[in-house]
């Protein structure tokens, strides 16, 4: 029923569904089954980058541009670092308030509290909710602070990596393995000194990357999100990448890889929960006793444990 209401455009139903996803509610399998037919209908765009680089400001402007094209937009502001709703997310609310009353826009912050597989498991489900609600485009903002954001970004069809001049970001990007996930680099805050140098650094890094013929070469775009400048160029780069994805059958490949990761995360979560419940029983304790006294090796014990799980 919730899914039907979300399909009919009820924002409270959408909010409720995302809350279920976020908290890892036990009705999730039913929700997922109801959403499955609408899977793959939205274009998913990830935005990542260091704290304060301008992700939310850019997202807000992208929403404006996409709405002007008549597209329905969902926004997920994901904070992988904090289990609680923190200050940054409140900041997002403020910066994205321009669209608060637009029925064609859903904006939602997410944190990882509760979910078994963490945000990397919860975020794709939240994207499915927004797809089910009829969004043509889903923008996913994550703070670029480590592995988690690389995982979250990998759920996007197109990933934008935002940088700002003078933050040493170009070097950082390589360190964090972000270069590999970037389809489009956005040098934001181009009103600041050093934008040219940052663009040069990025282009230098891109030139070093090995690419076969027909492979995507990351685009570099400048913007001043705070003034709404360069946003059309970002939209153009996203659309160009989209066309490339479709032409090279890469969209299907990426989505299958994503689905595989999703299945794995859910299965591992379930497995972990079952092993956890074994902990309370006698099976694991008996195995542990034998390993500790040297009558069984830990590999054989793990084998027995897995065999027990299979029953």
Q: Tell me which H or E stretch contains 219.
A: strand 219-222
In the complex with ligand GTP, the residue whose CB is nearer, 194 or 283, is 194
Is the Cβ of residue 92 or residue 262 nearer to Mg ion in the bound state?
Answer: 92
Q: Minimum distance from CB of 204 to Mg ion (Å)?
A: 28
Q: What is the DSSP string of 143-197?
A: E-SSHHHHHHHTTSSEEEEEE-TTS-HHHHHHHTT-TTT-SEEEE--TTSTTHHH
CB of 92 to ligand GTP, least distance (A): 6
Q: Does 108 bind Mg ion (CB under 5 A)?
A: no
Torsion of CA 224, 138, 73, 141, to 10 degrees: -40
Distance (Å) of CA 277 to CA 75, 280, 282: 36, 5, 10
Among Mg ion, ligand GTP, none, what does residue 290 contact (CB within 5–8 Å per kind)?
none
Q: How far is the CB of 223 from ligand GTP (least distance, A)?
A: 6
Identify residues 34-63 at the interface with Mg ion (CB under 5 A).
Answer: 55-56
Interacting residues toward ligand GTP by CB under 6 A: 49, 51-57, 88, 91, 95, 143, 188-189, 191-192, 224-226
Candidate ranges 18-26, 90-98, 264-272, 277-285; the one touching Mg ion (CB under 5 A): 90-98
Instruction: Give the separation between CA 12 and CA 288, rounded to whole angstroms.
Output: 49
Which one of ligand GTP, Mg ion, none interacts with residue 241, CB within 5 to 8 A by kind?
Answer: none
Residue 225 partner contact from ligand GTP, Mg ion, none using kind-dependent CB cut-offs of 5 to 8 Å: ligand GTP
Q: Residue 286's CB: how many other CB atoms inside 10 A?
A: 13
Q: Which is nearer to ligand GTP, 168 or 281 (CB)?
A: 168
What one-character DSSP code corresponds to residue 216?
P
Q: Which ranges in the chain belong to alpha helices (H)?
A: 2-7, 11-22, 28-35, 55-68, 87-95, 119-132, 147-153, 169-175, 195-208, 231-247, 250-280, 283-293, 298-310
Cβ nearer to ligand GTP, comparing 91 with 146 = 91
| Closer of 56 and 111 to Mg ion (Cβ) | 56
| Contacted entry of Mg ion, ligand GTP, none for residue 53, CB cut-off 5 to 8 Å set by kind | ligand GTP
φ, ψ at 234 (rounded to 5°) = -65, -45
Residue placing its CB nearer to ligand GTP in the complex, 75 or 284: 75
Q: Of 255, 6, 234, whose CA–CA distance to 106 is shortest?
A: 6
CB of 86 to ligand GTP, least distance (A): 9
Give me the residues that bind Mg ion (CB under 5 A), please. Answer: 55-56, 92
């Amino acid at each position: 029923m919730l899914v039907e209401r979300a399909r009919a455009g009820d924002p409270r139903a959408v909010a409720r569904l995302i809350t279920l996803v976020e908290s890892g509610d036990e009705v999730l399998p039913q929700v997922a089954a109801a959403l499955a037919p609408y899977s793959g209908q939205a274009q998913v765009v990830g935005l990542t980058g260091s704290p304060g680089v301008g992700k939310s400001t850019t997202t807000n402007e992208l929403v404006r541009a996409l709405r002007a094209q008549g597209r329905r937009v969902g926004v997920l502001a994901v904070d992988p670092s904090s289990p609680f709703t923190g200050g940054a997310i409140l900041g997002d609310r403020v910066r994205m308030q321009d669209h608060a009353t637009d029925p064609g826009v859903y904006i939602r912050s997410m944190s990882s509290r509760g979910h078994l597989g963490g945000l990397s498991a919860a975020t794709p489900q939240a994207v499915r909710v927004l797809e089910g609600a009829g969004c043509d485009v889903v923008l996913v903002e994550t703070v670029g602070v480590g592995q988690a954001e690389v995982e979250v970004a990998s759920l996007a069809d197109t990933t934008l990596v935002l940088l700002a001049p003078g933050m040493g970001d170009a070097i950082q990007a390589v360190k964090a393995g972000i270069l590999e996930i970037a389809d489009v680099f956005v040098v934001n805050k181009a009103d600041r000194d050093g934008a040219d140098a940052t663009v040069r650094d990025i282009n230098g890094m891109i030139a070093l990357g090995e690419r076969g013929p027909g492979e995507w070469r990351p685009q570099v775009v400048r913007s001043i999100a705070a003034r709404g400048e360069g946003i059309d160029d970002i939209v153009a780069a996203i659309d160009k990448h989209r066309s490339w994805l479709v032409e090279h059958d890469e969209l299907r490949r990426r989505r299958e890889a994503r689905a595989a990761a999703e299945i794995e995360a859910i299965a591992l979560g379930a497995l972990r929960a079952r092993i956890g419940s074994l902990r309370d029983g006698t099976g694991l304790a008996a195995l542990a006793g034998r390993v500790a006294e040297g009558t069984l090796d830990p590999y054989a014990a793990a084998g027995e444990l897995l065999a027990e799980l299979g029953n």
